[in-house]
């Protein structure tokens, strides 16, 4: 059965949420950042249950961040910048090994941030791919260049197996629900600079506060 319009993934929506996540002062709104990830998870789920071990972890991290956003100190979590400041000033971040704050917003967002780099690399490959390019190969290359270095062997192995069952390029483009391939490519060309910008702003912030290796 065809899913109703609002349940179907659309790349355009994800593009919009990442656009909304950038403030005028180039801060990143957590609410929209998380909404962007929700959209991506929706997409991942539509690819089949082989990917559910991945989407479960992403959903778990999204939920941790949402619970801070909706919690009593939610006003401190409006932007990634304010979250970092608040958690560091209050000593809510385990810096070298997991201790009393194993689920800080900072370490949780770092996992999604690293995955955003994978996304950037993967979408760039998709954008410049040709009809005979293999999504599994593009996905694995992007993964090996980014996220893989943070994952233990078992996860790398499981991820590698999941990539093998990704739909081919044209089916993949269809699931994106944007239109014909040329339109997908155009949309990717629009989305990528936004995703890169959000990534870079977070990367700079985390570098500045020495947060890139949080346990």
Q: Considering the complex, what minimum distance in angstroms separates the CB of residue 89 from ligand 1PZ?
A: 24
**39: alpha, beta or left? (left if phi > 0; alpha if psi -120 to 50):** alpha
CA distance 46 to 9: 8
What residues numbered 41-70 form the site for ligand 1PZ, per CB under 6 A?
43-44, 51, 53-54, 57-58
Q: 23 or 136: whose CB is closer to ligand 1PZ? A: 136
Contact pick of 159, 192, 194, 195 for ligand 1PZ (by CB under 6 A)? 159
| Shortest separation between residue 179's beta carbon and ligand 1PZ, angstroms | 18
- CB closer to ligand 1PZ, 143 vs 199: 143
Distance of alpha carbon 185 from alpha carbon 62, whole angstroms:
28
Rounded to a whole number of angstroms, the minimum distance from the CB of residue 113 to ligand 1PZ is: 9
Q: Report the Cα–Cα distance between both ends of the chain, in Å, rounded.
A: 43
Q: Does residue 155 interact with ligand 1PZ by CB under 6 A?
A: yes
DSSP 16: H
- Write down the least CB distance from residue 142 to ligand 1PZ, Å: 8
Cβ neighbours around 179 below 10 Å, total:
14
């Amino acid at each position: 059965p065809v899913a109703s319009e609002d349940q179907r993934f659309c790349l355009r929506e994800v593009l919009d949420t990442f656009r909304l996540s950038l403030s005028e002062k180039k801060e990143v709104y957590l609410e929209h950042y998380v909404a962007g990830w929700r959209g991506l998870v929706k997409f991942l789920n539509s690819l089949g249950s082989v990917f559910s071990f991945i989407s479960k972890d992403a959903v778990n991290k999204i939920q941790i961040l949402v619970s801070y956003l909706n919690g009593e100190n939610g006003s401190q979590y409006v932007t990634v910048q304010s979250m970092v400041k608040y958690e560091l000033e209050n000593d809510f971040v385990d810096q070298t090994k997991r201790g009393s704050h194993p689920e800080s917003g900072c370490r949780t967002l770092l996992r999604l941030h690293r995955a955003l780099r994978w996304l950037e690399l993967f979408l760039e490959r998709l954008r410049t791919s040709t009809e005979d390019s293999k999504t599994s190969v593009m996905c694995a290359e992007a993964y090996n260049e980014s996220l893989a270095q943070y994952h233990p062997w078992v996860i790398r192995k499981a991820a590698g197996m999941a990539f093998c069952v990704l739909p081919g390029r044209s089916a993949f483009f269809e699931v994106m629900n944007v239109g014909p391939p040329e339109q997908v490519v155009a949309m990717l060309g629009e989305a990528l600079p936004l995703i890169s910008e959000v990534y870079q702003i977070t990367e700079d912030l985390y570098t500045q506060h020495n947060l890139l290796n949080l346990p």
